[in-house]
Amino acid sequence: MSDNLPVPAEPSGWVPDIPAVIAEIRPLLPPERSAALERHYESILDELPDAAPVPVDPPPTADTAAGGVRRPIIPASLNRDQLAATARHTGARWAHVAAYHAVRTPWYGVLVAGAAVLGTGRLLGRLVRWWSVAESAPLRRAAVETGDSATWLRLDREARTGRRSRTVLVLVAGGTGLTALAILTGALAHLPWPASALAVMVAVGVLARAGRPSGRPLIAPAIVTPRFRKLNADIVLRAYYAARLGADKDDQRITFGTPMARDGDGSRVSVDLPYGRGFTDAVKAHGAIASGLDVAVTQVFLTRDPTSHRRHTLWVADRDPLAIPAGRTPLLRGHPTDIWTPAPFGLDERARPVGIDLMWNSILVGAQPRQGKTFALRSLGLFAALDPYVRITVADGGGKPDWRKFEAIADRAVFGLAPTREGDPTEILIDTLREIRADVQARYLALSDLPPDVVPEGKLTREIARNPKYNMPVRILLLDEFQEFFATGNQTADAEIATLLVYLIRVAPAAGVIIGSATQRPSGIGSGDVAKKFTDYRDNHLIRFSLRTGSWQVSDLVLGAGAFSEGLDSSVLAAEHKGAGILRGASDANPTVRTFLADAEDAAHILTIGRKLREQLGTLSGQAAGQIAQREPRDVLADALSVFATDSAPGLHWPDLAARLATAYPEHYRDATADAISAQLRALGVPSVDVRRDGQVRKGARVDALRDAHRARVDV
C-alpha cells in the first residue's frame, strides 16, 4: 500500500471489514493495482457449502453437560448382541466349577474330617488356655526375672482366683452342654435322616472352620483368578499411555468410541487415538500395548476401523486363545462334501468357525518348518477328497509321507524329485501341468460355445462340473514345498515348470481349477527369469495363510505386501502355537485361525471314504484308477528332419541338433544331450560325419543321411 494512503486507527479487538476497506481504497489506487486487488481479494478459492457447517467434535449432550454420564439401564453384557456370549461364558464357568468340585468330593470329605478333628483340638486348647488364665503368664514371668516378689504374689493370687471362678463356669457350661446334647441327640433320633445329616454337617463345618489352614482356603478354587478379572477403561488407558500413543493432556488424550463390552471370551472396545496418530502407530506398539495390559501379545487383537484411521477396535482375550486346540476335523464324520461350499478350516480367536471358499480361489500356506503348514493344506485336500466330483492332483516337492495316502484318489501324484519306478517326478509334473493347461484352454473354448441359459455368467457352474457329458469337473492342484519345483537342478525343466505354474495361477482358477501351495521358503528361489516367475507365482495367490514365521518381513512375503501395516504379523506367534496362523484374503476379518487337526490316521480314514464315494459314482480317474499316462513315443528321425525345415544347411553339428530338438519338443528332448541324440540316430543308420558350419568342422549329421534312413525304414 502506498505511504500517502490514510491508515485508520485500529482499536483493541477491532476486526477489519475487508470488503469495505477494498471499496474505500480502490479509488485511490492506479488502474493496474486496482485490477490486481480485484483478483486477489474477490476470487472465491473454495466453493461455499450449501448446508450449514457441521462441527468436527459433537457438542456435549444434556447428561454430560450436567456434569455426569448416565450409565446404561441394561448392562452392555446383557444386550441382545452380547447376551448369548455372556450366557455361554457364565454357563461354561459354573459348569466347570461344578464338575471340578464333584470329582473331588470324596477327597473333600477327608479334608473336612481332618480339619474338624484339628478344629476340635484347637477349641479345647483355647478353652484350656482361657481356664488357666494363660494371658497372665508373661507378666508373672517378667516379675520373676526382675525380682519383684510383691507383683508376682499379686498376679499369682489373681490367677488362682480366676481359675476357681472359671472352673465353676466350665462345670456349669459343660453340664448344660451335655444336657443339651442329650436332648438334641434324642430329638435327632426322631427326625428324618436328612435333618440329622444336616445337623451333623453344620457341626462338622463349624469345627472344620476352626481347623482350616491359615492364609489359604481349605478347598482350592476351581478357577484361578487372573490379575484383572475384567478389562476396564483405566487399564486400557494405562496401556496406551505406557505405549506412548497418547498422554494425559487435553490434545493427547485417548478416548473411547464405544463402551467396554464383553465379546466372546474377551473384552472389546473402540479406541480413538489423538489427532495425528493412526492405526499404523498402534500396530507398531502392539507389544507395548500387551505389556501395558499385562497379558500375552497373542491375547491382544487390533482391527482397523474403516471410518477413521485414528480409530481401531481393541479385543483382549481372557486367556491366550491360540493355546487352546481347535480339536479334530469335522470331516471325520465321513459325510460327502460339496466343493462349492466353504471348507471347514478351524476356529478364530473368538472360537468362531472359519471356512474357506475354495472355488475360484488359490491358497498360499507359508511357515517355518514343523509349524503345521502341510497339515493346513492337507485339510483342504481332505475336504476335496470327500467330494467325489473333484479331480485331485498332488505334488509334494519334499517327498514326505504326509501326502502318500492321496494316491488312493489322486488323478496324478508326484513325490520328491528322485526318479522312481513310475518315472522321473520332474517329467511327470511337467506332463501333468501341460495336461491341466490344455484342459483349461479347452474349457474356455467349450464354455464360450455353450448357450447363455447353461452358462449364465459365462463360467463353470455346479451343474456343468457334475455333468459327465461336459467333462469339466472341478480340479484341485495341491503343491507342497513347491519351491523345490523351481530348483530341480535342470534349468530347462525349472523354466518350463515356472512358466506353466505362472500361467495356471493366473488363468486356471476362473476355469474351475483350485490351486493350493505350501512352502517354508517364500523367497530366494531360482535365478534370473525363474526367480521372477517364482515371485509372480507366489504373489498371485488370492488367499494367504501364514503360520509362525521368523520375522515380520517373511510374514509379509506370505501374507502379501502391506499385511504388517494392517496389524498382521505371524512372527509374533509362539512355538507352542503350532497349527495357528493368520488368514488373509478369505474375508474382511483376517482372523487368526487355529486349524482343525487331521493326523495321518484321520487322513487315511477320510481318503478311504473318498475312494469309495468315487468308485460308487464312477469318478475315479487317472493314477488312482490304474490309468497311468505314458509319454507319447517320438520318432527321432522324423523329429530330426523337422528341425531342418526352416534351414537350408546340408547338416548340423550334434550339439546344435540336440538344442533344436529341445526347443521344438521340450517335453521329450529337454534333457537329451548331444551324445544321446547321436547314439539314437546312429542306431537308426545315420552316420556321424564331419560337418562344416559357421566356419567350424565338427561331428554331426547330414540331412541327406537322415532322409535316406527315414526312407529306408518306411520302405521296409
For residues 246-265, give the mean pLDDT: 85
Whether the per-residue pLDDT at 44 is higher than 50: the answer is: no
The model scores a pTM over 0.75: no
Closest Cα partner for 90 from 230, 269, 236, 297? Answer: 230
Residue 274 domain-assigned (yes or no): yes
Whether the per-residue pLDDT at 45 is higher than 50: the answer is: no
Residue 656 domain-assigned (yes or no): yes
The predicted-structure confidence for 431-477, as pLDDT tens digits, reads as follows: 899 999 989 999 998 888 888 888 888 789 999 999 999 999 999 99
Structural domains of the chain, count:
5
Closest Cα partner for 329 from 390, 393, 375? Answer: 375
Residue 54 domain-assigned (yes or no): no
For residues 105-131, give the mean pLDDT: 83
> Is 679:688 a contact under the CB 8 Å cutoff?
no
> Is 458:447 a contact under the CB 8 Å cutoff?
yes
Whether the per-residue pLDDT at 3 is higher than 60: the answer is: no
| Beta-carbon count within 10 A of 107 CB | 10
Identify which has the larger pLDDT, 184 or 404.
404
The predicted-structure confidence for 164-200, as pLDDT tens digits, reads as follows: 888 888 888 878 877 877 776 776 666 676 766 676 6
> Is 143:152 a contact under the CB 8 Å cutoff?
yes
Same domain as 429, residue 391: yes
At 69, the pLDDT band (50, 70, 90 cuts) reads low
For the record, the C-alpha cell of 240 comes out as 496406551
Same domain as 540, residue 466: yes
Look at the block and give the residue holding cell 457449502. Answer: 49
Identify which has the larger pLDDT, 459 or 603.
603
Same domain as 300, residue 394: no
Same domain as 429, residue 523: yes
> Is 477:384 a contact under the CB 8 Å cutoff?
no
Same domain as 396, residue 289: no
> Is 234:109 a contact under the CB 8 Å cutoff?
no
Q: What is the pLDDT of residue 8?
A: 47
The predicted-structure confidence for 139-151, as pLDDT tens digits, reads as follows: 888 888 888 888 8
State the Cα–Cα distance between residues 37 and 59, nearest whole angstrom. Answer: 40
Same domain as 286, residue 204: no
Residue 281 domain-assigned (yes or no): yes
Q: What is the pLDDT of residue 424?
A: 85
Look at 382-391, 403-412, 489-498, 704-713 and tell me which has the smallest mean pLDDT: 704-713
Name, in order, each residue with C-beta under 8 angstroms of 716's C-beta and a sequence gap of 6 or more: none
Domain boundary residue, one of 143, 175, 210: 210
Q: What is the pLDDT of residue 65?
A: 46
What is the largest distance, in Å, between two alpha-carbon atoms of the chain?
A: 149
Same domain as 42, residue 115: no
Same domain as 169, residue 297: no
The predicted-structure confidence for 355-386, as pLDDT tens digits, reads as follows: 999 999 999 999 998 899 999 999 999 999 99
Residue 558 domain-assigned (yes or no): no
Same domain as 132, residue 37: no
Residue 62 domain-assigned (yes or no): no
Whether the per-residue pLDDT at 5 is higher than 50: the answer is: no
Q: What is the pLDDT of residue 559?
A: 94
State the Cα–Cα distance between residues 364 and 541, nearest whole angstrom. Answer: 6
Same domain as 427, residue 305: no
CATH of the domain at 371: 3.40.50.300
Whether the per-residue pLDDT at 715 is higher than 50: the answer is: yes
The sign of the torsion formed by the CA atoms of 380, 382, 387, 388 equals positive
For residues 201-222, give the mean pLDDT: 74
Q: Which H helix or E strand runs over 142?
A: helix 137-146
Provide the percentage of residues in the chain whose pLDDT is more than 90: 34
Q: What is the mean pLDDT of the chain?
A: 82
Domain boundary residue, one of 9, 25, 46: 46
Domain boundary residue, one of 595, 625, 655: 625
At 29, the pLDDT band (50, 70, 90 cuts) reads low
Helices 149-190 and 137-146 pack at an angle, to 10 degrees, of: 160
The predicted-structure confidence for 407-418, as pLDDT tens digits, reads as follows: 999 999 999 988
Same domain as 139, residue 12: no
Same domain as 482, residue 608: yes
The predicted-structure confidence for 315-327, as pLDDT tens digits, reads as follows: 998 888 888 888 8
At 607, the pLDDT band (50, 70, 90 cuts) reads very high
> Is 473:389 a contact under the CB 8 Å cutoff?
yes
Q: Domain range holding 270?
A: 233-319
Residue 552 domain-assigned (yes or no): no
Residue 294 domain-assigned (yes or no): yes
Look at the block and give the residue holding cell 461336459. Answer: 470
